[in-house]
Amino acid sequence: MIVPGVVSVTFRQLSVPEIVRLTADAGLRAITWGGDVHVPVGDLAAAERARSLTGDAGLIVEGYGSYYKAGESEPAAFADALRTAVALGAPVIRVWAGVTGAADTDPARRAAVTEDLRRCADLAAVHGTRVAVEYHVETLTDDIDSATRLFDEVDALVPYWQPKETPEVDACVKEVRSLLPKLRTVHAFSWGPDGFTERLPLADRADLWRPVLAELNADGQDRFVLLEFVPDDSVEQFRSDAAALLGWSASGI
């Protein structure tokens, strides 16, 4: 069912031990560790320490959030990110599907991104790791038709999802449904009409999250729902958002 957690970049200002304690104290169960601050690419000692602290707290390493951009980053950079993910004990490494939206990507560029994603998935499979691609603006997953095509073209890819700015509930539910049953992880946050610059408490968009969570629960598979983009980077607001997510999950939506 729903496995609640947090994306570590929600609190770039906190240390790894602080994030572990905060996550556990809030009653959440999983962490995605980011590759920019908390577990830098290539720092295997930091990865192993984060893995140990997460496990010792009874939490799950959901995955490793790399900033590798398929078809754009230096290909060798993926190997460094993958080694870090393996040291972290992350079953999934998240990458970006290029750096341009579907409508702005010509067929040759799309083919290059797709082929690089296939290469990355093959390299990761050797280590028992999977490659995930997030539903994200300015990538090939900024449009649901493009996204589903991409996941068909590279069957090994794992879909992630998050709402766009000023999301419409019906459109979000349709997107989530289109990515099932392969959809593994959702990033949960609430934004106002001004998008990223207007972060809201998660509960302010109960109208969005209740039907999305119900859709995720419909087939009985375990899926991660991870908090991100807390208003004012506030620890107290994070605790409130965690309580809202846990309450919805416990109620069966």
DSSP state of 184: -
Res. 167: pLDDT tops 90: no
Indicate the SS3 state at residue 66.
strand
Mean pLDDT of 172-198: 91
What percentage of the chain exceeds 70 in pLDDT?
99
pLDDT at 135: 85
Give 253's pLDDT tier (boundaries 50, 70, 90). Answer: low
pLDDT at 192: 83
Give 252's pLDDT tier (boundaries 50, 70, 90). Answer: low
CB count in 10 Å sphere of residue 207: 9
CB 93 within 8 Å of CB 63: yes
pLDDT at 134: 84
Q: What is the tally of helices (H) and strands (E) in the chain?
A: 8, 10
Mean pLDDT of 176-203: 91
CB 41 within 8 Å of CB 77: yes
pLDDT at 136: 87
Indicate the SS3 state at residue 146.
helix
Q: What are phi and psi of 56, to 5 degrees?
A: -65, -25
pLDDT at 166: 73
Res. 125: pLDDT tops 70: yes
Strands (E), the chain: 2-7, 30-34, 60-69, 92-96, 130-133, 158-161, 185-188, 190-192, 195-200, 223-227
Q: How far apart are CA 96 and CA 72, in angstroms?
A: 10
Res. 127: pLDDT tops 90: yes
What percentage of the chain exceeds 90 in pLDDT?
91
The rounded mean pLDDT for the chain is 95
Q: Are strands 30-34 and 60-69 parallel, antiparallel or unpaired?
A: parallel
For the chain, the C-alpha Rg in angstroms (whole number) is: 17
Give 251's pLDDT tier (boundaries 50, 70, 90). Answer: confident
Give per-residue pLDDT as tens, 39-85.
999 999 999 999 999 999 999 999 999 999 999 999 999 999 999 99
